[in-house]
Structure 1
Amino acid sequence: MSSLQLGSNGMSLASVDEVLGIIFSGLPACIVQEEDLPDGFFNLENGIAGEVFQKFVNYKFRAGFIIPLTHSHGERVKELVRDHSNHPFVRFFGSVEDAEKWLL
């Protein structure tokens, strides 16, 4: 089984423009860790996260985002995580193993 983790495949999500490269990379789904994300991703006011999520949804591509359960990104991000707990394409997990269980 090949890894679904972006970093293990030489990819990152350093900008919104890289989403389509990930979608068309041949991976069946992906796991995104915080170090794969651009600065300001969790500043929800700038719209970066929304653009990224919308591209994954539009192309029906599943992405698991790894965020430690004790993250300090604020209440809006906690709400975002809760709102996506059963989303068909974008979900948040506390570990790579949990994301893999959903994606595989």
Structure 2
Amino acid sequence: MKYEFIEKDGVEYVAFLQGERELRTEQDASDLIGACFERGISRLLLHADALSEDFFRLRTGLAGAVMQKLVNYRIRTAVVVPEDRLVLGKAKEMLAELKFGNAFRSFSNEHEAAQWLARDGG
């Protein structure tokens, strides 16, 4: 999995980037949590291109399982889904609802996501 540690305004977060491997399983989410804990970080930025299509097919249960795992481990997570990314059906509804969350939130660009992660609380 390809990720990097980023520091913005004195706050560190892990950014999971598009690479040759996408987040496809709950174990992949556990690996990202491990990367966070390795550095004592409780914030994560996920790019839509780094998420498998199953994440956006809600019937697979992957999105729910990943989000629940991140919430359980208190990893504040921002998901960047550019407006030009085609997301349909229930996944589109889920992303719309996530624009207002405190633990897991979606954004259309990385700048806004990073600003939110750098803020304290939500």
Q: What's the TM-score once normalised by structure 1's chain length? A: 0.83
**Following TM superposition, where does structure 1 have runs of at least 4 consecutive aligned residues deviating by more than 4 angstroms?**
none
Aligned to 1:103: 117
The equivalent position to 1:13 in structure 2, one of 23, 28, 43, is: 23
Contact 1:61–1:89, Cα closer than 8 Å, also in 2:
yes
Equivalences, count: 101
Higher strand share: 2
CA distance in 2, matches of 1:40, 1:14: 7
Unaligned runs of 5+ residues in structure 2 are 7-13
Do the aligned residues in 2 keep the contact of 1:14 with 1:37 (CA within 8 Å)?
Answer: yes
CA contact (8 A) 2:22 2:50 kept: yes
18-27 or 40-49, larger mean C-alpha shift: 18-27
Match of 1:80 in 2: 94
Amino acid of the residue matched to residue 49 of structure 1? Answer: A
Letter in 2 for 1:14: R
Q: For structure 1, which segment, 57-66 or 22-31, has the greater mean C-alpha deviation from structure 2 after superposition?
A: 22-31
Give the counterpart letter for 2:115 in structure 1. Answer: K
Aligned-pair identity in percent equals 24
Q: Tell me, which stretches of 5 or more residues in structure 1 are unaligned?
A: none
